Amino acid sequence: MSKKKYVKEELGRNQFTKEKDPYQYYQTTDYLEVEIYPVEAGYEARVIVHDDEDLSSPIRKFTNEAEAQHFARQYSEFVIGVMNQREST
């Protein structure tokens, strides 16, 4: 009769990992900064690209935080794609 030992572990994390949460879209590059802040009538968001000011977005106004987060995520993905294309050529 064989006894099986089960090892319970959580893959990708250990006691030495400082940041246990997954990376956010704005934390993956050094040249990208996302600003979302509340204002009187909702939220404002903008994406700042330190390496190319022409790619930075203007300040956009939104009615709620979810819309501002969505804009920031979509625009950040666009900027990362453009910057990756520039690096490969």
Residues 6+ apart with CB under 8 A from 79: 32, 47, 49, 55
Q: What's the whole-model pTM score? A: 0.73
Under the banding of pLDDT at 50, 70 and 90, the label for residue 24 is: confident
Range of the domain at 54: 26-88
Q: What is the pLDDT of residues 40-86, one digit of tens each?
A: 999 999 999 999 999 999 999 999 999 999 999 999 999 999 998 98
Q: Is residue 80 situated within a structural domain? A: yes
* pLDDT computed for residue 12 by the predictor: 59
Under the banding of pLDDT at 50, 70 and 90, the label for residue 1 is: low
User: Distance between CA atoms of 80 and 30, rounded to whole angstroms?
Assistant: 11
Contact 42, 35 (CB under 8 A): no
Q: Is residue 15 situated within a structural domain? A: no
Q: Is residue 2 situated within a structural domain? A: no
Question: Residue 30: pLDDT above 90?
Answer: no
The owner of tokens 């490969």 is 88
Q: Is residue 6 situated within a structural domain? A: no
